[in-house]
Structure formats: C-alpha cells, structure tokens
Amino acid sequence: MRLTAALLLLASLALPAPALAQDAAVKAGVDAYNRGDYAGAMQAWRPAAEKGDADAQYNVGQIYKLGRGVPVDMVEAEKWYRLAALQGHDLGEANYGMMLFENGKREAAVPWLERAVANGEPRAQYLLGVMLFNGDGVARNWVRAYALMLRASAGGLDAATRTLAQMDQHIPALDRQQAQALAQRYAKETRTAAVPVAKSTPARQAPPVAVARAAKPTVAAAPPPPRATGSWRLQLGAFATPGNAERLWGQVRTRFPGRQPTYSKSGQLTRLLIGPFPSQAEAEKACGAIKPCMAVQR
C-alpha cells in the first residue's frame, strides 16, 4: 500500500500570505500584495530579492508558486525558495523542501524537510511522514512516519488526520504505540526549541546574490520599556496552524516593545493577540500599516 501526497494538496498547503519584514521596500510589497496589486508587490520584492533579502526571496517564490499576477512557474519558485532557505529563512526552508518534492527531487528534498520538521512545521511533518511510509527518497520507517503524521495532525492539518486513518489499517499496533511515544518526544523537543536561546547553525553556501550588510554601530543598551497595562489588544489574524501564529509574532515582535503575545483558541483557529493597550485609539494606532490588524477588548 502506498500513500499519495497529491500535488494539488501540497499546492493548497502553501502559505498565501507574504512574509513581513523590516525592510521598507519589502514592506511596500506586502502592502501591495494585501491590496491585490501583485504586479506592484513583485516590483517591490524583485530588486530586494536580487540584493539578497531573504523575506523578499521567499515572497517572490510565493508569487511564482501561487501564480499571483504571473503564470505559475515551479522552476522559478524553487529558485527563490532556495535562496531564502540558504539564508536560514524558516518558511523558505519548508517551501523549498516541498518544492523539491513536487519537482521530482525526492532525495534532495529530505534534508530541507528535516529542517522544517525540527521547527515544528506541520506541512513538512505530513510530507516527510508520507515519504517515510512509502520509502520514497528515504528509507522506509513506519514508526517515524506515524509519529510525524500525529504531529502534523496535532498541528491542525486535516490531510494528516485523514492519512492517519489510512495508516491505522496497515501499521501494526506495536509500531503505533512506539510512534505515540516518539511523537510525544518530538512535541517536547519542539517546545524546548521554541525558547529563545543562542542559535548555532552549520556553515552554509552563501547564495550568489547575497550582499554584505553593514555592521550595526555599538550603542548603549536602552532601558526596558515600562510595563504596559490596559484591556485592549491587537488581533493579527487567525490561524488553523498554531505554529503560524507564533511565527508571525517572531516576525513582528520588535514593532511592539513592551507588549506580549496571547494565543487565543477559537474552535479550530488560533488568534494572535498583542497587548495590552490602555485604549482602543492607542491600539488602533499601533496597528500602523500591518494588515490584517484590529483592536479588540479582552
């Protein structure tokens, strides 16, 4: 029995929203994208991507992957995801691994999927689980395949939940028990990795378009901002995959000094709330150009 990771399914798993960034040009592209001006988004992102901005490279990959204002082009999407992945861009790594799989480069996809799995990415867990079950580009391992599918299902991926039902018909009960224990260990390791620590990464080949960035001047450390109070918070979207809410906070946290995230469950969705703010007016002002963003009282 073989599981099928349908390419149409994998295409639907691509995150439609672009990566947020501090760079002004990349941010202008995000604003254009959110307005549906995909040509304007590409005009802003392409030069930044060619200069080595990893967020811009990932976003250009998304444009080609999803066919936003351009014909769908998997070769171009793979190229730009690769450049972002080589710079350690989390979403770039995940999408590059999945793109390699879609383009028939199964063995080459494995190390990039493994990196995304280590970051708790449900789509990568699902795809690598299918590959491990089938022995497709990697040695067959039903215990690990089932464990990864459990993690992807726990991350809110409906396709993984349906695939588990298929696996149940073929994987022996003892293997499934071992997989349960392994999935619990993976969950614990992912939570530990989420704690901010000094990060050491292996040396990577620099992308040919990367440019050197000027060193930041040394300045005296600023005092911590005063503790914020109030009953108002910002809602920055609702996510079927909780990890995507956490990833978005990691991208925007520097814009909200002194504020803290709250991950509020509502049915199958996780809302990212940031606060507190003393009034609705101050909360709405803090939204700035970030979209979607709205003030809510809690």
CATH of the domain at 87: 1.25.40.10
Answering whether pTM is above 0.85, one says no
Quick check: is 252 in a domain? yes
pLDDT in tens, 122-131: 999 999 999 9
How large is the average pLDDT for residues 37-60? 92
In a domain, 250, yes or no: yes
Contact assessment for residue 28 and residue 22, using Cβ atoms and an 8 Å cutoff = no
Query: What number is the average pLDDT over the span 3-15?
Result: 45
Q: 3-state DSSP call for residue 148?
A: helix
Are both 53 and 167 inside the same structural domain?
yes
Q: Please indicate, yes or no, whether residues 16 and 76 belong to a single structural domain of this protein.
A: yes
Order across the sheet with 269-277: list the strands: 260-266, 269-277, 232-239, 294-297
Q: Is residue 204 a part of any domain in this protein? A: no
pLDDT at position 155 is 87
From 163, 192, 221, the end of a domain falls on 192
Q: Which domain holds residue 274?
A: 232-297
Pairwise CA distance, residues 241 & 126, whole Å? 13
Same domain, 63 and 141: yes
Phi, psi of 33, rounded to the nearest 5 degrees: -60, -45
Q: Is residue 41 part of a domain?
A: yes
Same domain, 135 and 266: no
CATH code of the domain covering residue 275: 3.30.70.1070
Q: Read off the pLDDT of each residue in 157-182 and give the average, rounded to a whole number.
A: 91
116 and 253 belong to one structural domain:
no
pLDDT of residue 287: 80
Q: Flag the least confident range among 216-225, 248-257, 260-269.
A: 216-225
**8 A C-beta contact, residue 54 and residue 92:** yes
Q: What does 229-287 look like in DSSP terms, one character per residue?
A: --SEEEEEEEESSHHHHHHHHHHHGGGSTT-EEEEEEETTEEEEEEEEESSHHHHHHHH
Give me the pLDDT at residue 41, please: 92
Question: What's the average model confidence in pLDDT over 11-23?
Answer: 48
pLDDT at position 179 over 90: yes
Q: Would you tell me how many other CB atoms lie within 10 Å of the CB of residue 104?
A: 9
Domain count for the chain: 2
One domain for residues 188 and 280: no
Span 266-286, pLDDT tens digits: 666 777 888 888 888 888 888
Does residue 91 share a domain with residue 182? yes
Same domain as 175, residue 31: yes
Task: Judge if 23 and 140 occupy the same domain.
Answer: yes
**Model confidence pLDDT, tens digit, residues 207-247:** 333 222 233 333 333 344 445 677 888 887 676 677 777 77
Residue 130 lies in a domain: yes
Residues 164 and 241 in one domain: no
Same domain, 178 and 78: yes
Among the three residues 161, 192, 223, which one is the final residue of a domain in this structure?
192
Cα separations (Å) of 50 from 17, 40, 233, 242, 256?
20, 16, 37, 32, 29
Q: Is residue 129 domain-shared with residue 277, that is, in the same domain? A: no
Whether 105 is in a domain gets the answer yes
| Confidence (pLDDT) at 192 | 54
Last residue of a domain, one of 143, 162, 192: 192
| 231 contacts 280 by C-beta, under 8 angstroms | no
Residue 110 in this model has a pLDDT that exceeds 90: yes
- Does 203 map to a domain? no
Q: Is 1 contained in some domain?
A: no
Query: What value does the mean pLDDT of the chain take?
Result: 78
- Interval 60-77 mean pLDDT: 93
